[in-house]
Structure 1
Amino acid sequence: MRTLKRILLGLLILIVIVVAAGYILLKSMQNDALPDYNRDLILSRLTDSVSVFRDENGIPHIFAQNEKDLYRAVGFVMAQDRLWQMDLLRRVTQGRLSEILGKDQINTDLLMRSLRIQEKSEKILQTSSPEIVAALEAFSEGFNYFIERNPLPPEFRVLGYHPEYWKPVHSINLIGYMAWDLSSGWNSEIFLHNIKKEINPEQLAELIPDLKNQPTEVFPDFTLPEEKIAETLLSASENLEKMGIEIFHGSNNWAVSGKKSKTGKPILANDMHLGLFAPGIWYQIHQNIPGKLNVTGLAIPGQPFIIAGHNDSIAWGMTNVMVDDLDFYTEKLNEDSTKYLFDGEWKDLIIQDEVIKTKEGDEIHETLKFTHRGPLVNRFKHEKETPLSVRWLGNEKSNEIRTVFLLNRANNWSDFRDAVKTFISVSQNIVYADVAGNIGLQCSAGIPVREGNGIQIYPGDSSKYDWKGIVPFEELPYELNPERGYVSSANNKTVPDDYPYYVSHWFAVPNRINRIREMLQEKEKVGIEDFEKMHADYKSKKAEKFTPVFLEALTAASDLSETEKEAQKKLASWNFVLTRESQATSVFEVLYQKVCENLVKDELSEESFKAIKGQRSMLENLMLSILSGKKSDWIDDKNTTETETFNDIIVRSFKETVEDLTAQIGNNVEEWNWSKIHTFTMSHPLGVVGALDKAFKLNRGPYGVPGSFHTVSPFSYSYNNLYKVNHGASHRHIFETGNWDASKTIIPTGTSGIPSSDFYLDQLERYLNNEYHADPFSKTEVEKAATYKMSLKPE
């Protein structure tokens, strides 16, 4: 017995020691990488001291005496806060995720390698100006100095690896990452190709947007001189069937001139809509060299220049143009798949051997093949029968790194336009305002010139459908100081139908832009407080359009239950504002989604039905097509003997809506608040592992949120993961050109990517409550707001 007691006591002591050691190790992993923002440090190769002030949000304001010292400090400071994220993004662009996450990532790695992002980046680096190269080299030096001398964030220790040295080319790679993330057509064109087997041509056509249903243009008054029109190969009217956009690529921007501003000076607003995850895609930073550079705004972790923000003279912000920038081609290969047929001749495929190392210790040998257009992508699209190649705008000649470098230094509209003319692969409508009182909007995009309607997969054995070039910058639309006193864009239709080049046919349905312009026109003059309300606006033009249609159908229904009648009353008394507390919002959002599904699910296979729910824009265009009064083969349910009308579909969908909401929340309609089902969780890539999430507090949420994908303040979700928010405003900025210190900003995450930091997701709740924090710019205000100060000194 005594022996047993001693054994048990020994085991207990051992357990205590193990638990204590585990706790100490956990705390070490959590906290070792936390920087001391008040600690002065030596930084190799500096020529002068650099001051880093941080405000209460931990945002760095860096004051240096020269450019090389500035960018060394930027690299060092960014590594302090976002080291693992920088390495992760680098690995994405290089196709090296398998090394740290395992062989499940092999296909992803091969896809990213097939895009040849780094190959293009190396070409850009070779042709970049000495000033840009020097800045990227200095940034790399700051990053590398940090990883040599500091503990690593916990993700490196959890995954068991060490980051490699940073190189200038890695910063340029991140532009390629953004170009791919915002690209159009990768999913939709293949999907349309596949469902042709299941539906008739008329049904396919109704998924294609009729731009008569989308009359709101970004540049309504833009025209080209007549001699330019005569030179073009295509007219927009020849491309009515073009598809090619992925659903979650939205943004808003607008600016008002001094005559419409309460301050008498232009005010500019921007909120780019991207995936919401932790750490966030943007890093807030302010960079200053007295008398030479003073710029603040958003940088991508791993890239040192401000992507969107303001300097002493100008402010700028971006929205996606929605260019159709990707095409597929069917290729004819010879027997051993080493050649492809092109214009009657067999051409050699470019064959590239790839070795992918995995976390498990394996080396996987694979082969990538390329035509002159781009990679063969069958394996990535699960297409077994037909060899497919792809041409993508991201591989075309462009120089976005030059653009952002020059934007940071631009003084006027002329400088601005010179800077953005090389912003091609990441097609954006860039809004502009300056201290001299000017406002403008410039389409900076790579718009391919090609034949065909674009909706089909092109035959690859002919040069007929090859791109003939890119629309010259001088012929892209723009506005400067329009009489109306404002400019605005929200991914809507770019130009009127007489513009001679085809841009796209799959723009965002103009719900957001119509509401933005409605609010801008409500008052003679607007101020910052009005811009704040616009960023926080949840009134839906889509709901305003469809709710009366739904109510008309429900009024004719004679067999509604008491719960259904109560839900109908909520819709009838609704003001179309999607608040957290609104029950009508829950009814409308579920009903609209049910109508979409009931229109298509009887026509499609299970696989295609799931796929079309991931292409929500197609369903929106189908709904607009039906609403415009067209007859549709989609309406009748082929699984019933009756012939259904659109009203029948609405009533059936409404009953299913009430059934769903009752099952989720209960039969008391007064409790059907939208926020009970429409929720948002800010997630970290490693947060999918429950033990890691619990140990390191990686995720936050869920939070009940208002709005939807069609409101100016967007909290968007996929129809394949209903009401779980995955996209939204990745930042909100309001820039006051008359007093830069009065500007305001917020991001949904925080400065730090280290989960135990006080600045990890510390802005999230303010973001969810539509609050902002100050954005100090003058040195006086920066020093007044400083909570921390660090000096970086030469060796």
Structure 2
Amino acid sequence: MPRRTPRNALDRLRTPRGFHGFLKGASVCALLAGLLSPLSPAMAAGTAPTSEKTTPATAGTISKAAANDHCGGQCSDILPPGQNGNATLAQILLNQAFGTQPAHAEDQLGPYAGLATGYSGLTNDKINTFFNDASFGVPDGQVASTVRPAGRGDVTIVRDKKTGVPHITGTTRYGTEFGAGYAAAQDRLWLMDLFRHVGRGQLTPFAGGAPANQGLEQQFWRSAPYTEAELAAQIESAAAKAGERGELALADVDAYVAGINAYIDASDKGRYFPGEYVLTGHKNAITNAGTIEHFKRTDLIALASVIGSLFGAGGGGEVTNAISLLAAQEKYGVAEGTKVWESFRQRNDPEAVLTQHAGSFPYLPKPGNPRGRALPDAGSVEAEPLVYDRAGSAAASSATGASATAADAAVTSARRGMSNALVVSGEHTESGHPVAVFGPQTGYFAPQLLMLQEIQGPGISARGASFAGLSMYVELGRGQDYAWSATTSGQDIIDTYAVELCQDDHHYLYRGTCTPMEKIERKNAWKPTVADSTAAGSYTMRVWRTKYGPVEYRATVGGKKVAYTTLRSSFMHEADSIIGFQMLNDPEYLNSPERFRSAVQNINYTFNWFYADSEHTAYYNSGDNPVRADGVDADFPVWARAAHEWRHWDPAANTAEYTPASAHPQSLDQDYYVSWNNKQARDYATAPWGNGSVHRGNLLDDRVRKLVADGGVTRAALVKAMAEAGLADLRAEDVLPDLLKVIGSAPVTDPAAEEAVDRLKAWHAAGALRTETSAGSRKYAHSDAIRTLDAWWPLLVKAEFEPGLGSDLYTAFTRNLPVDESPSAAHGPTGAHAGSAFQYGWWSYVDKDIRSVLGESVQGPLARAYCGDGDLAACRDTLLSTLKEAAGRTPAQVYPGDDNCPAGDQWCADSVIHRTLGGIKHGGISWQNRPTYQQVVEFTSHR
């Protein structure tokens, strides 16, 4: 089987070896033989120390939550691969050698995968075949263990037999949060430790110098290069602004951190800590020498900066926008080039699917007479170097620079989207109660970035998912009589400023004064580890910061030397959202959809929030949207001058005037809501390119709209709509019919082309789904048609648009928006085996262009016709020639194989593979395009 060198940090995480190449080949057996025998019984078995006061489950053991549960057994959830993300060294070695799994490490993966073939016959009573019961508490006879962490009498952690999810019940607030921290460390200590180092740009000293690790730490640290003092100040500042709730949040954080550290101490003493600490040289398996560093408040902010960068910070890209605009103007002239650029940008496309159906919510409209634009001189843009002083393996590695660049693209794409939501009001359901199916798509990792928990204590009553290391509250889940979830919204809270240089390259003009840039450095060195054979090396990461944010590019503007900086409203405010999450967990506070909206208004990251109880549904778009100066076009770099700054911007605190809550898309009891990272509302300009006539959100909207029109919607019906949309090929469902209409405008006489057309027609008629012939067959129905479209799409897009645009402009536009993101597209922004597909592509461009050639009505058309230069016969020739070429490509050519799959294996090329972040790896599952954590809820009553 062909093998390839992983291209970037996130790419390395996509391989089964993942992380940094854990335990290659023969070394597994040697380590197993050499290390297993000396392990203490506790470490080998993964058991808890006696100081935890563990009570084994016995017949008739009961753990009942004190909280009221108004779901009536109709709340379910799922989070693959499993709850347990920690593994001892022995468990890691056994997994690597024989594929065995620690308890609850993979037990949610099978039900999750099974929905792809089992959804069609789904009924309400079969939902928990594919999901877990998300009721509060643990039923009689289902208690696996009861732990009083660190011997405390004010909190218990009960785990159920089926999933091992912790149910934390405290009699004091401190004890409750202590238990939450302890449970988090039980399930995700290694992952939490990994990401607190990622957030500080210090992954390589912690885990080794593999290119994957170098690229990962470089990407995240560039966007949040904080000092320790700044990390500490952020949480104190967030608390100070929130009064009593802020004081409570600080106390919760301190208790949570204390719980984490109690587990570290207990696992160290009992020698059942995660085995990755041995493999990376932090602990000695035989002598137990070495330490696992305690956590502190600032670690949580470092973690939050990573999560916020990935999922909650829309915007940026102004420099690449400028480059493509200049290319368009070079091709067509200023006026026509600008028109062409705007038609591809689709800032406010009238055909875009909307989450908010009614009303207008203007945000960042294109100014009629833009002020302050600072477009670079052609060819002058250069990325700001991040890495200096390479030595040892860092100097020898040629992959690191490319790794960082590709990681940047991957993280940018993750920032743009993934999660989905389907919510139907009670007016249209069988029961008269709202129904919701929703969840975040945070990527498929092992262990998962999210973890499940139930927390019951003074002022807290919730079950759901939280990011590991930030689980003092449930972040997405359900309360006593309501549930909530979120999707990444991506509205623009990031701007690029052109700061004029003075004196030298590291001084700039700030409000007329020559001001030195601030130099922030990380000097990272590493040694070889058991898990990573990379030789010793070192390098320095350096970021130059200005009051307008970190420097990302250098260029000239009108001959003047400038640095392009990136300023986001959440910079220096990574902790501010803690108050909103605290409110979501508080049953005394959150008792209505109005209170829900007031809670999520305290979340400064860019998310769409959805709510359902037994009577109401609600939606709100969160984020600190800065008010721009009059005339500023936020799609392009602007001069760093007072006249173009955010209104009432305070550079010391990075605060500004933000758009009021009333200006954010929001509604109550809309007939239905769908979101798949599509456009929020009319006139609400979002950052991502591609919010046009064909978007992944259409796959949900078409199905849910039909369900609502028919009435009597059930939980099973809504799950089926989600599952079918998650198996649909967007190109085949929404664009292929018009492509075939052009081809069918005259008889097809070429036998090969005719056969390909017939196959595509049959596939579309059957639903345009990428589904197995039967469960476990590892072969798609209509596999030849699917292969043909996978090969055809990039060929037809290039042939359709490049002749008219020219190669320079075509290439520039593909940097703004990739052409394709099929499930098997390793070249796409999310990479191979990532699950999420059809978020980024030229679907709308092809759709609008082809409809224009056909003479059909197009709202918000492209500036000109491209296929065949607008001539139907010439367009048909283009489509037929590329289709014939695509149909002639072999499976091995379309699916060339990688570290996971042999060449030509279509099913495997699409398959979802959890990217290993530790020592345990899991098998692949059939592709489906759905959230990694998902809830199905229908409340039967209300407090």
- TM tier relative to shorter chain: 0.7 to 0.9
Check conservation: 1:295, 1:309, Cα contact below 8 A. yes
The match for 1:582 is: 781
Mean CA deviation greater in 359-368 or 82-91 = 359-368
**Does 2:487 match 1:319?**
yes
CA deviations over 1:287-333 (Å, ceiling 9, x no partner) = 123x7532101111101211111111321111122202222222222
The within-5 A match list for 1:621-640 is 621-627=844-850, 629=852, 635=866
The within-5 A match list for 1:95-134 is 95-103=201-209, 104=211, 105=213, 108-109=216-217, 111-114=219-222, 115-116=224-225, 119=230, 122-128=233-239, 129-134=246-251
- Selected match of 2:354 from 207, 213, 217: 217
CA, structure 1 residues 17+625, in 2 after alignment: closer, same or farther (shift >3 Å)? closer
In the TM superposition, residue 366 of structure 1 has moved relative to its aligned partner by 4.9
CA deviations over 1:512-556 (Å, ceiling 9, x no partner) = 342243243243111111122122113466534322221123335
In the TM superposition, residue 455 of structure 1 has moved relative to its aligned partner by 2.9
Distance 1:40 1:218 in 2: 43
- Selected match of 2:724 from 525, 531, 537: 537
Distance 1:19 1:152 in 2: 17
Distance 2:634 2:711 in 1: 43
Distance 1:164 1:432 in 2: 39
- Selected match of 1:180 from 285, 288, 309: 309
Check conservation: 2:154, 2:176, Cα contact below 8 A. no
Distance 1:17 1:533 in 2: 48
Distance 1:416 1:473 in 2: 13
In the TM superposition, residue 192 of structure 1 has moved relative to its aligned partner by 3.3
CA, structure 1 residues 489+50, in 2 after alignment: closer, same or farther (shift >3 Å)? same
CA deviations over 1:224-258 (Å, ceiling 9, x no partner) = 7xxxx9xx9x646759999x973751322232233
In the TM superposition, residue 400 of structure 1 has moved relative to its aligned partner by 0.9
The match for 2:376 is: none
**Does 2:942 match 1:730?**
no
**Does 2:927 match 1:705?**
yes
The match for 2:439 is: 271
In the TM superposition, residue 462 of structure 1 has moved relative to its aligned partner by 5.5
Partner AA of 2:788 in structure 1: V
The match for 1:171 is: 300
CA, structure 1 residues 662+433, in 2 after alignment: closer, same or farther (shift >3 Å)? closer
The match for 1:29 is: 89
Check conservation: 2:313, 2:606, Cα contact below 8 A. no
Distance 2:841 2:496 in 1: 19
Unaligned runs of 5+ in 2: 1-27, 45-87, 94-101, 105-142, 240-245, 283-290, 332-336, 374-408, 529-535, 649-656, 772-779, 819-827, 830-838, 853-860, 896-903
The match for 1:374 is: 549
Distance 1:239 1:431 in 2: 37
Distance 2:891 2:29 in 1: 49
**Does 2:677 match 1:491?**
yes
Distance 1:185 1:35 in 2: 38
The within-5 A match list for 1:235-634 is 235=365, 246=413, 249-289=417-457, 292-303=459-470, 304-359=472-527, 364-378=539-553, 387-395=563-571, 397=573, 399-409=576-586, 410-424=590-604, 426-435=605-614, 437-450=615-628, 451-461=631-641, 463-466=643-646, 469-482=657-670, 484=671, 486-497=672-683, 502-504=685-687, 506=689, 508=691, 509=695, 510-538=697-725, 539=728, 542-555=731-744, 561-573=750-762, 574-575=764-765, 576-580=767-771, 581-583=780-782, 584-599=785-800, 603-604=806-807, 611=815, 613=818, 614=828, 617=840, 619-627=842-850, 629=852
Instruction: Give the length in aligned residue pairs.
Output: 671
Distance 1:238 1:736 in 2: 47
The match for 1:85 is: 191
Partner AA of 2:512 in structure 1: G
Q: TM-score when scaled to structure 2?
A: 0.64
Q: TM-score when scaled to structure 1?
A: 0.74
Partner AA of 1:604 in structure 2: S
Check conservation: 1:120, 1:395, Cα contact below 8 A. no
**Does 2:178 match 1:72?**
yes
**Does 2:17 match 1:20?**
no
CA, structure 1 residues 219+609, in 2 after alignment: closer, same or farther (shift >3 Å)? closer
The match for 2:255 is: 138
In the TM superposition, residue 475 of structure 1 has moved relative to its aligned partner by 2.8
Partner AA of 2:915 in structure 1: S
SS in 2 for 1:69: helix
CA, structure 1 residues 66+25, in 2 after alignment: closer, same or farther (shift >3 Å)? same
Distance 1:190 1:619 in 2: 21
Distance 1:567 1:50 in 2: 62
SS in 1 for 2:193: helix
SS in 2 for 1:579: coil
Mean CA deviation greater in 508-517 or 525-534 = 508-517
In the TM superposition, residue 101 of structure 1 has moved relative to its aligned partner by 3.8
Distance 2:624 2:690 in 1: 16
SS in 2 for 1:122: helix
Mean CA deviation greater in 31-40 or 66-75 = 31-40
In the TM superposition, residue 282 of structure 1 has moved relative to its aligned partner by 1.4
In the TM superposition, residue 365 of structure 1 has moved relative to its aligned partner by 4.6
Distance 1:578 1:673 in 2: 18
**Does 2:912 match 1:680?**
yes
SS in 2 for 1:75: helix
Percent identical pairs in the alignment equals: 18
The match for 2:279 is: 158
In the TM superposition, residue 403 of structure 1 has moved relative to its aligned partner by 0.7
Distance 1:636 1:403 in 2: 49
The within-5 A match list for 1:644-655 is 645-655=874-884
Distance 2:541 2:894 in 1: 50
SS in 2 for 1:212: coil
Distance 1:156 1:385 in 2: 47
Unaligned runs of 5+ in 1: 1-14, 667-671, 687-695, 707-713, 715-727, 741-795
Check conservation: 1:321, 1:445, Cα contact below 8 A. no
Distance 1:427 1:106 in 2: 28
Mean CA deviation greater in 27-36 or 309-318 = 27-36
Partner AA of 1:266 in structure 2: P
CA deviations over 1:146-177 (Å, ceiling 9, x no partner) = 11121321222212125321113323443332
The within-5 A match list for 1:702-781 is 703-705=925-927, 714=929, 728-738=930-940
In the TM superposition, residue 374 of structure 1 has moved relative to its aligned partner by 0.6
CA, structure 1 residues 238+593, in 2 after alignment: closer, same or farther (shift >3 Å)? farther
Distance 2:905 2:941 in 1: 41
